Chains A and B, each alone.
Chain A
């Protein structure tokens, strides 16, 4: 019987089945940040087990509240920093070299096809864009991952989401994933993996695939996965060039993880990418999705461009295309947070940061901050934010605030008009 990519990765990493439907996997990487890791560290210390399974397979970053905003967040950073030092974790990224984990770690080449990865962060599913099995876990799973290099998962039933056609201009990965979540619901993929296939995915950059996989968790999925192809190889080439004699050889190797033609899926869902249009959320659940056309004219107080979903260079370039030569509405506060130090620097070199600043945006440093209402752009009671982030939960960006999720293009256009607005890049096909 054929196997899916997730089943192949499970087969190559399995060390135990305590019961047939539970698989204990060996981990290739354990990612850590300062919000969910310190309590695991403190617990290991309290148990007299302050060890790590392999310092080179642990990657750590201070990203959620950076720079620290108060004594508690300073303490969280301090705990992670001193732990990384005492265990010789070389890949530790502190302020000045840091960035939002799910943008930073791929950028450093830490994610490879066929890898198993966990992190104490639900958006770890982002890394499935590289053909890895990457899943968010809680602090206890993270703690065991740090100590033993293993994690337990259920049998990876897979839903295949196939997107045919070509996306119209002005329609992006964010619109695609919002449309998918809108259709299958916030628990439409719970306990399952989503495998994204079809010509729309094939045509996507790695940045777009990361946006797509990033929000798989909003449909409840354990991981979102794209099959590795030449786009994957090209992205990784500077990190893997020493391991392969050519890009073709690398691709041939990665293809061993591709799902077999007779792999068994728990469901196949078809979308026509050519018929898609820009999407936006309403309400307090990520499956409450409408077209931007239906929501046009909704007043906003703040626009936030950033996060692990849409804070990459490609996202900044698209938003800058909309903002160039224009000023944002006087009633709107615009905040840009480039997702990593490197993205910030490259955006600076390309003149993108200047476009944002000329239009009236405040350019903040790389951090998760406002996306989860911790710092750098928290909403007041009753305020509305047009945001490129991933969750519109009640109170997510600040108690009593309202969040509308959208693409960077829509967010930039909305900043200019002061209301939810389609970007001029998008034109309804006649």
Chain B
């Protein structure tokens, strides 16, 4: 299984699309590794600097409809190549969410109030998340603050993560 714990990157905007996560001009790349330097290059978000803000991050917390637009799996790959295997949002675009699980990555929905309070408490600070998949809970910490946030994923999503992705799952079953 992949790593789902580490430093958090807060992206305070809804409707971040896959063109912003990885612009189409890089879709001519032939390997996932080649996408690494271009993650979030076109993100329209005040104060965000990809060169400064992405380094050392392992998880993203954002608002609504993360990953809308194009079906490109290059978006989760670009995250994965930067060591980010976990995205938390109020909700996700369908194809993007499925792509995450198909790659054995984790996309978790949390209620708006929880996301609001996480932004209020932890955004702008150096915050760390620990994921306990067995207990279905995140522990988020920063400068003395700690929150334990329970989450739900379906048995099917869990099976994909545990299998390592959809190819492994489908090939053993169908």
Contacts and interface: CB of A to CB of B under 8 A. Distances in A.
A147 B171 contact: yes
Interface string B82-102: 000000000101111011001
Contacts of B167: 43, 47, 140, 143-144, 147
B102 A140 contact: yes
A394 B20 contact: yes
A75 B30 contact: yes
Contact of B44 (A69, A136, A394): A394
Nearest to B28: A72
A18 B94 contact: no
B174 A187 contact: no
Interface string A280-294: 000011000000000
Contacts, number: 149
A120 B98 CA distance: 12
Nearest to A64: B27
B24 interface: yes
Contacts of B58: none
B27 A374 contact: yes
A187 B98 CA distance: 16
A173 B42 CA distance: 30
Contacts of A147: 167, 170-171
Contacts of B15: 186-187, 285
A140 B27 CA distance: 16
B33 to A, nearest CB: 12
A39 B44 contact: no
A198 interface: no
B51 to A, nearest CB: 15
Contacts of B44: 284, 394
Interface residues of B, number: 45
B103 A140 contact: yes
A395 B71 contact: no
Contact of A72 (B30, B65, B96, B102): B30
A144 B70 CA distance: 19
B65 A122 contact: no
B24 A16 contact: no
Nearest to A148: B174
Contacts of B69: 122, 217, 391, 393
Contact of A15 (B24, B43, B174): B174
A73 B28 contact: yes
Interface string A105-127: 00000000000000011101000
B2 interface: no
Interface in B20-75: 20, 23-25, 27-30, 32, 41-44, 64-65, 68-73
A49 interface: yes
A76 interface: yes
Contacts of A18: 155-156, 159
B94 A373 contact: no
Interface string A229-257: 00000000000000000000000000000
B80 interface: no
A139 B25 contact: no
A1 interface: no
B19 A138 contact: no
B98 to A, nearest CB: 7
B17 interface: yes
B14 to A, nearest CB: 8
Contact of A190 (B30, B91, B166, B174): B91
19 contacts: A36-B73, A124-B71, A138-B96, A140-B102, A141-B102, A141-B166, A144-B170, A144-B171, A152-B156, A186-B65, A187-B91, A190-B91, A190-B93, A220-B65, A285-B15, A372-B19, A373-B25, A391-B70, A395-B41
Given A138-B73, A147-B171, 9 more contacts: A15-B174, A19-B154, A35-B72, A138-B98, A150-B170, A150-B174, A285-B15, A372-B19, A372-B70
3 closest pairs, A vs B, by CB? A138-B99, A138-B73, A140-B102
